[in-house]
Homo-oligomer: A and B are copies of this chain.
Amino acid sequence: MNRHTISVLVENKFGVLARVAGLFSGRGYNIESLSVNTTEDPRCSRMTIVTTGDERIIEQIDKQVSKLVDVIKVTNLTSGRFIERELLLLKVKATSANRSQIVELVEIFEGKIVCVGGGEIGIELSGRDEKIGDFIELMKPFGILEMARTGRAAISKDPSKGK
């Protein structure tokens, strides 16, 4: 059971997310995280899906997603060199006594303070999922009030072939 990051370029048409998510759910494939947003071409969107499974399952996902209507291209980024990042917004309890501790941790992780007030601090942090996970663990003792974590964005590190 390995974790795979799959990038799916789709036509920006109605219902395409429901079809892809439905295929994963219908076949019993796990979705650990998912992001979908527009690309530089307004006709296309890109989904980045993190899933787990052995080689056979990943091959099946690749084949079956490729066959769906409005799917242009499926790339298993995990098979080459790639860069992936996600973004975290988190609100944590802060008192005058522990605020500087929190700020110090945010600086170490190269995060940003996005709001302060009413005994709360809002933090923005980007990075690989492991870094994000480590930061969340460090914030737990202060009292996490709210958090939202995007799915992954991922691009290949290998030279682009054409476009």
Contact = CB atoms under 8 A, between A and B. Distances in A.
A114 to B, nearest CB: 5
A interface majority secondary structure: strand
A160 interface: yes
* Number of identical monomers bound together in the oligomeric complex: 2
A148 B159 contact: no
Among A33, A48, A85, A117, the one with the most B-chain Cβ atoms within 10 Å of its Cβ is A85
Interface residues of A, number: 63
Nearest to A115: B157
A101 interface: no
Interface in A122-143: 122, 124, 126, 136, 140, 143
Interface in A31-60: 31-40, 46, 48
